[in-house]
Chains A and B, each alone.
Chain A
Amino acid sequence: DIQMTQSPSTLSASVGDRVTITCRASESINIWLAWYQQKPGKAPKLLIYRASNLEGGVPSRFRGVGSGTEFTLTISGLQPDDFATYYCQQYNSYSYSFGQGTKLELK
């Protein structure tokens, strides 16, 4: 099965900061990667698909980059609403594995 490793596990930042979350796949997944945002008590929400495509309605301060085994999610100009947990997911193989999550917290 493909393993997805996210880093860091926790990220402390302030409103207005730019932050980057990294996701590494144990083997190549081409561009078949999604990023989700989850807030407490809510279901995950799709932010980015195919590694770099922004889902409709998602602010342009979210940016996904990468292919193969290395991917990043960058949020520029953090807003109060962005403090949440972020997950990457590969959908290249039937394990559809997720990263362990990155909790973005207010410094």
Chain B
Amino acid sequence: DTEVTQTPKHLVMGMTNKKSLKCEQHMGHRAMYWYKQKAKKPPELMFVYSYEKLSINESVPSRFSPECPNSSLLNLHLHALQPEDSALYLCASSQVSGTSAYNEQFFGPGTRLTVL
């Protein structure tokens, strides 16, 4: 199973709502990632988890709160978002750097988020 699944596929939320994005993989990968992708732009890294611990935060605003409850799951909690946060949110997983010569990242299909 080389699949990364993401739910929901689409999400519409108001600026006062609290919602969560979910990502799951069963490849035994111990590194997981959140990326944000605006229309017609490349993905931008937000967070990296390594062995369920946050290892990289690319100066993301605190209204985005990641969580890695176990080695297969990654969540992104959303609160008080702005319309400019509307984007495709991609999750990825890989082996942890240092455990192989290269660590191919496997991406999910993304959650398309619209903030009203």
The answer to whether A and B come from one shared complex is: no
Q: Which residues of A contact B (CB under 8 A)?
A: none
Q: Which residues of B contact A (CB under 8 A)?
A: none
